[in-house]
Amino acid sequence: AQSVTQLDSQVPVFEEAPVELRCNYSSSVSVYLFWYVQYPNQGLQLLLKYLSGSTLVKGINGFEAEFNKSQTSFHLRKPSVHISDTAEYFCAVSEQGGSEKLVFGKGTKLTVNP
Amino acid sequence: DADVTQTPRNRITKTGKRIMLECSQTKGHDRMYWYRQDPGLGLRLIYYSFDVKDINKGEISDGYSVSRQAQAKFSLSLESAIPNQTALYFCATSEPGLAGKYTDTQYFGPGTRLTVL
């Protein structure tokens, strides 16, 4: 069965600084990878996903992530964050050819300070 | 109007009471899911349904039951609520994978905050 580890539960940064949120996964088969964002008092929404092809994936709001199969990682990056990026970010994995269920990491709370 | 709606948005109840959380969607998706979110634990899958006649247990189904009344409606019941079921509950929907591709982007409702005293 697949699993996801988000290495940082909280990440505080200053506005306009770069940020990286780390995600590692474990699976015995090939996977699809996702990042979801949850703004305060809202449901989750998809930020970006990797299904196949280019390992660098671009998402909404200037975020991007890189799939690294050898390191089983899918880290999320943004070169310059805004106050409005303050939210909780969840990495998720789904096994190719499996039951098409998502397994979520425990989340990383990003706080952008002025 | 929101594509995925949940009612109620907040509920406080007592131990032993039966509770139903409802989810409706206007996206026309066949697949629906129920998750619970606990601080520091992320989202965990309770039940999922790939169509009206297909109901499956997720990771943490004990103490819960579901009903898929129609393509657009998926309800979660707590037969006898207990305090450790206090959590934020999310409903989600998704489209089936297209031929040769797999998307499984999930669309989430706003959540129901349930407190069991």
Q: What is the pLDDT of residues B2-58, one digit of tens each?
A: 699 999 999 999 999 999 999 999 999 889 999 999 988 899 999 999 889 999 999
Four-CA torsion A62, A68, A69, A71, nearest 10 degrees: -130
Contact pairs from chain A to chain B, CB under 8 Å: 55
CA quadruple A41, A42, A44, A45: dihedral sign: negative
Of A6, A94, A106, the CB nearest to B104: A94
Residues of B in contact with A104 (CB under 8 A): 42-44
pLDDT band at A5 (very low <50, low <70, confident <90, very high): very high
pLDDT at A28: 87
Residues of A in contact with B44 (CB under 8 A): 104
Q: Please, what is the average pLDDT of chain A?
A: 93
- Give the burial string for B12-51 (b: 16+ CB within 10 Å, else e): ebeeeeebebbbbbeeebebbbbbbbeeeebbebbbbbbe
Judged by a CB distance cut-off of 8 A, whether residue B99 touches chain A is no
